[in-house]
Amino acid sequence: MRTLKLGLRQVYYEFLAFYRNPASAFFTFAFPLIFLVIFNLLFGNELLELPGGTTRISTFYVPAIAALAVINSCYTGLAMGMAISRDQGLLKRVRGTPLPASAFLIGRVAFLTLVALVLVGIVTAFGAIFYDVDVPTGTAPAFVLSLAVGAAAFCLLGLAVTTFIPNADAAPAIVNASILPLLFISDVFIRIDTDSPRWLGLVGDLFPLKHLSAALQTAFNPFETGSGLELTHLGIVALWGAFGAVIALRRFSWAPRD
Model pLDDT for residues 170-181, shown as the tens digit of each residue:
999 999 999 999
Question: What confidence tens digit (pLDDT) does each residue in 25-34 have?
Answer: 888 888 889 9
Q: Kindly state the greatest CA–CA separation across the chain.
A: 60
Query: What pLDDT, on a 0 to 100 scale, did the predictor assign at position 21?
Result: 82
3-state secondary structure of 48: strand
Question: What confidence tens digit (pLDDT) does each residue in 210-229 have?
Answer: 999 999 999 999 888 889 99
Classify residue 51 by burial, with Cβ atoms within 10 Å: 0-12, 13-18, 19+: exposed
Domain boundary assignment for the chain: 2-251
Query: What pLDDT, on a 0 to 100 scale, did the predictor assign at position 193?
Result: 66
Percentage of the residues of the chain whose pLDDT score is greater than 70: 98
DSSP collapsed to 3 states, 140-182: HHHHHHHHHHHHHHHHHHHHHHHCCCCCHHHHHHHHHHHHHHH
Query: What pLDDT, on a 0 to 100 scale, did the predictor assign at position 196?
Result: 73
- pLDDT exceeds 80 at position 18: yes
Residue 12 Cα distances to 25, 78, 86, 159, angstroms: 15, 16, 20, 21
Q: Please report which confidence band the pLDDT of residue 194 belongs to, taking 50, 70 and 90 as the band edges.
A: low
Long-range contacts of 83-86 (CB under 8 A, 24+ apart): 83/162, 83/165, 83/167, 83/168, 83/170, 83/171, 84/168, 84/171, 86/162, 86/168, 86/253, 86/254, 86/255, 86/256, 86/257
**C-alpha torsion sign, points 13, 15, 18, 19:** negative
Among 170, 173, 174, 197, which Cα is nearest to 185's?
197
**C-alpha torsion sign, points 203, 209, 212, 214:** negative
